[in-house]
Structure 1
Amino acid sequence: MPSKTTITNSLQLYKYLLRECKKLPSEAQSHYKHAIRQGYNSHVDETDPDRIKQIITRSIADAEWIVNKYSKK
């Protein structure tokens, strides 16, 4: 299992985000799984390495924020 610092491609990011989604309440999981799938499908053909790093960094930060949001409830 790659840590969030070793995520270098879209498939690793997709798997990481799905694992993070399991930390959410069951009623929120389906929504975020769908959003993850849509985001993956819309960026899967990205070829610019800088843009890929930017997407990975932002996605990890967003996932941490969402998990923290639900863990405080």
Structure 2
Amino acid sequence: MPPLVGAELIQTPVHLYRVLLRCCRQLPTTAMQKHYRHAIRQGFNSHSDEDNPERVQLMIQRAIADAGWILDKYAKK
């Protein structure tokens, strides 16, 4: 089961970007939200020139797993 609801529907980097920014709203403090929004933006910008579809799908899957881990980490506190 994917860690995020609807994660199996994410197919494009732009859709992933939007979903991850929405996930930031679930973090407990404003400082955390700003930190992760910045990290998401930086990651998106640094990989925007990737054109290998297999690599893009791997990055999408990894980002979904990482986001689920972060949300679980802060949800337990």
Unaligned runs of 5+ in 2: 1-5
1:12 to 12, 15, 23: 15
Task: Report the alpha carbon displacement of residue 6 of structure 1 after superposing the two structures with TM.
Answer: 1.3
2:67 to 56, 63, 66: 63
1:36 to 28, 40, 51: 40
Task: Report the alpha carbon displacement of residue 34 of structure 1 after superposing the two structures with TM.
Answer: 0.3
Normalized against structure 2, the TM-score is what?
0.88
* Higher relative contact order (Cα pairs below 8 Å, separated by 6+ residues): 2
Dislocated runs of 4+, deviation >2 Å:
none
Q: How many pairs align? A: 72
Normalized against structure 1, the TM-score is what?
0.93
Aligned equivalent of 2:24: 21
Amino acid at match of 2:43: G
